[in-house]
Amino acid sequence: MKKVNWMVVIAGAFVGVAALVLTLLGNPANMGFCIACFLRDIAGGIGLHSAEKVQYIRPEIIGLVLGACIMALAKGEFRAKAGSSPATRFVLGAFVMIGALAFLGCPLRMVLRLGGGDLNALIGMLGFALGIFVGVQFLKRGFSLRRNYTMGRPEGGILPALMVGLLILFLAVPTLFHLSETGPGSQHASFWIALGLALVAGALAQRARLCMAGGIRDSIMFQDFKLLYGFIAIFLVALIGNLAFGTFKLGFELQPIAHSSHLWNALGMVLVGWGSVLLGGCPLRQLILAGEGNGDSAITVFGMIAGAAFAHNFGLAGNADSLNEAGELVVGGISSAGKVAVLLGIAVLLVISILNMPQKEKAVQKN
Amino acid sequence: MKYIATFHTHLAALVTSRALATRQVKAWMAPVPRALSSSCGTCVCYEADLPMLEAMDGDVERVYRVAEAGQFELLFENE
């Protein structure tokens, strides 16, 4: 057993507690944090899609990026770097988002849903782990998006600066934005509390390198379980909190903002897991890396926002389970277009994985 | 003597690990220690009498000597 990295445990536990608090204060159930859902809400808030129920300027995203940025600056770890296949990362980010919205949550929300008793998240996690396993096979054989390069500091500050601008604009002229009156987008905790908790979570995640995909990836590649402890800490805190507050509900059907279409929960998360390994981190990690100056991660975040807009403009996102007027269960899931998009995403990841394997001469040189 | 090399890409770590192995150097890949970087890349740990810089891939970032007390002494840097 390798040494426990307590920083990762503390960061994970804090994210779990913050998620519980934000849910109690108004965020949707099992959605104290969800990077995919919140980027989707921001995409709607700035008018990139017109799904009226999922539009809001989520301070959690702003806080995570700025918290990581402040901590990186304070510790001398802010480094402007970019240039590692940016267009490919944009596309990967978009498909990771499409996969996450098919499942109805990013890997972080998957863990929070699991802690709330949502067994669909267990199916999602199997798909996520399978996607990571496939991605690791390509990594082991030399997959690479090429190296990044040192940039001027302004390049590294692009996403944090945009977040500051969004924050100021939202506080100064909120009428500029589309804000949901019903649905998940209308459910939110107090803006300032959410911003404050996310700032701390972002700072801790930067110190701990918290990553939902990294834990499983490192376990498979190196039998190194350090990052996995963060994943486990979030789950345990969410589980204990939900049991304590009476919000734990075990089962598959009618879980909050979730569907029980198992195949598409799994395949959506295969897309997320595989894409996250190719990108070098889950959606949460991309926000944190962008906060500490990584322009490639900023491009990935832009890709995720574009993917969210596509998902809602073309009806690709999942629909939650519901009851009809007769009180019968209507299993949610994704539309035919959504299924095509998830399968297309997996095909695109396969092509990107193959095309970015080492060139023949370099592979020979290695052996 | 124990050394740690960090890289700009995972592929460069893989190439270096193999190059060290062909030189009969005990080498293994691992996540980069948090003390060395906030990124979550792959490093190569190896045990040799010399730093073996000639075995490094072109995308090597830094090479450290690991002191007895666990401190890292920077030997080579390639930004």
Using a CB-CB cut-off of 8 Å, the residues of chain A touching B42 are: 221
**Nearest CA to CA, how far is A262 from chain B (Å)?**
32
Domain that holds residue B27: 2-77
Chain mean pLDDT for chain A: 96
| A5/B34 Cβ within 8 A | yes
Burial A231-256 (b: 16+ CB within 10 A, else e): bbbbbbbbbebbeeeebbeeebebbb
Q: How far is CA A109 from CA A19, A71, A75, A117, in A?
A: 9, 24, 29, 12
pLDDT band at A4 (very low <50, low <70, confident <90, very high): confident
| B15/A222 Cβ within 8 A | no
| pLDDT tens digits along A83-104 | 999 999 999 999 999 999 999 9
How much of chain A exceeds pLDDT 70, in percent? 97
Rg of chain A taking only CA atoms, in angstroms: 19
Q: How large is the greatest C-alpha to C-alpha distance in chain B, in angstroms?
A: 31
Q: What is the pLDDT of residue A367?
A: 40
Residues 6+ apart with CB under 8 A from A143: A135, A278, A353, A356, A357, B10, B11
The total number of structural domains that make up chain B: 1
Q: What is the pLDDT of residue A82?
A: 98
Query: Are A91 and A277 spatial neighbours (Cβ–Cβ below 8 Å)?
Result: no
For B5, phi then psi, to 5°, come to -115, 130
Using a CB-CB cut-off of 8 Å, the residues of chain B touching A143 are: 10-11
Select the residue of B9, B34, B42 nearest A209 (Cβ to Cβ). B34
B23 touches A: beta carbon within 8 Å: no
Q: What is the pLDDT of residue A360?
A: 59
| pLDDT tens digits along A337-354 | 999 999 999 999 999 999
Place of tokens 């290695």: A366
Q: What's the pTM?
A: 0.96
| pLDDT tens digits along A5-21 | 899 999 999 999 999 99
DSSP H or E stretch at residue B45: strand B42-47
Residues 6+ apart with CB under 8 A from A324: A330
Nearest residue of B to residue A221, measured between CA atoms: B30
- pLDDT over threshold 80, residue A304: yes
Residue A30 CA neighbour count, 13 Å, CB half:
30
How much of chain B exceeds pLDDT 70, in percent? 100
Query: Are A132 and A216 spatial neighbours (Cβ–Cβ below 8 Å)?
Result: yes
pLDDT band at A2 (very low <50, low <70, confident <90, very high): low
Nearest CA-CA partner of A152 in A75, A81, A76, A72: A81
Query: Are A68 and A287 spatial neighbours (Cβ–Cβ below 8 Å)?
Result: yes
Chain mean pLDDT for chain B: 95
ipTM of the complex: 0.95
- CATH number where B12 lies: 3.30.70
- pLDDT over threshold 60, residue A365: no
The tokens describing A282, both together, are 């889950």
Burial B19-46 (b: 16+ CB within 10 A, else e): bbeeeebebebbbbebebbbbbbbbbbb
The tokens describing A201, both together, are 């979570």
Nearest CA-CA partner of A365 in A144, A142, A147: A142
How much of chain A exceeds pLDDT 90, in percent? 96
Q: What is the pLDDT of residue A366?
A: 45
